[in-house]
Amino acid sequence: MLSLPLAPDAELTSLEPWQADEFAEHIDRHREHLEPWIPLAHTVTDTESARELLQRYAERQANGAGRLLGIRQHGELVGAILFPQFDPAAGNCELGVWLAPHAQGHGLITKAAQLMIDWAFEVRGMHRIEWITMPANERSKAVAKRLGMTLDGVMRESYLFGGRRHDAEIWSLLVTDPRPWN
């Protein structure tokens, strides 16, 4: 199984359809924490919907059009990082993330995002990486800033989930921008 170290006790790993039970359980356990911020916390409600999402990402990965990786701490699935949009022809992609509450505050997402960004720019030749977040999501915005991203603007009421429309801030990093970790 793919495994890249994020910290002495944490790793970035593959997350595949056969792991749907564990994925569904992870989302269910942390639903309250995730629901205000990420649409999939509203749509992954059981093993079947978890499997569908992981299958969709397996197909996107096979087609070079997206990717989803798990984050484990002490072996426990505590979060994920993904490219929900990945368009090599246009050179644009979007990065998304989440972590369980008890795994926050250790830089795991910052480190995972650095690895994904370096791979997208240097291996896949991407030009622009987007980070989309709600204006009230301070922890998410702190990650975008830590990664050296720039706030491009607000897409008003563009983000439809949980039966409501939300404003979405769009942050970006270009291949020509300085990367604070390099």
Ligand X SMILES: CC(C)(COP(=O)(O)OP(=O)(O)OC[C@H]1O[C@@H](n2cnc3c(N)ncnc32)[C@H](O)[C@@H]1OP(=O)(O)O)[C@@H](O)C(=O)NCCC(=O)NCCS
Structural tokens at position 96: 């998304």
Tell me phi and psi for residue 170, to 5 degrees.
Answer: -115, 120
Which listed residue (13, 73, 140, 172) binds ligand X by CB under 6 A? Answer: 140
Calpha distance 156→168 (Å, rounded): 6
CB of 149 to ligand X, least distance (A): 12
Residue 38 touching ligand X (CB under 6 A): yes
The yes or no reply on residue 104 touching ligand X (CB under 6 A) is yes
Q: Can you tell me which of 50, 108, 116, 117 binds ligand X, judged by CB under 6 A?
A: 108
Residue 44, CB half-sphere, CA atoms under 13 Å: how many? Answer: 28
Give the footprint of ligand X on residues 141-180 (CB under 6 A): 142-143
Compare residues 59 and 142 and give the one whose CB is closer to ligand X.
142
Q: Is 137 one of the binding residues for ligand X (CB under 6 A)? A: yes
In this structure, the strands spanning 128-133 and 92-99 are parallel
Kindly determine how many residues on this chain lie close enough to bind ligand X according to the rule CB under 6 A. 19
* Closer Cβ to ligand X, 34 or 126, answer by number: 34
Write down the least CB distance from residue 89 to ligand X, Å. 25
Contact between 106 and ligand X by CB under 6 A: the answer reads yes
- According to CB under 6 A, which one of 10, 24, 27, 34 is a site residue for ligand X? 34
Can residue 56 be called a binding residue for ligand X (CB under 6 A)?
no
- Taking the C-alpha atoms of residue 27 and residue 50, their distance in angstroms, rounded to an integer, is 9
CB 92: neighbour CB atoms within 10 A?
Answer: 16
Alpha-helical (H) ranges within the chain are: 20-29, 31-34, 40-43, 47-62, 108-118, 138-146
Between β-strands 128-133 and 164-174, what pairing exists: parallel, antiparallel or unpaired?
antiparallel
Binding footprint of ligand X on the chain (CB under 6 A): 34, 37-38, 97-99, 104-110, 133, 137, 139-140, 142-143
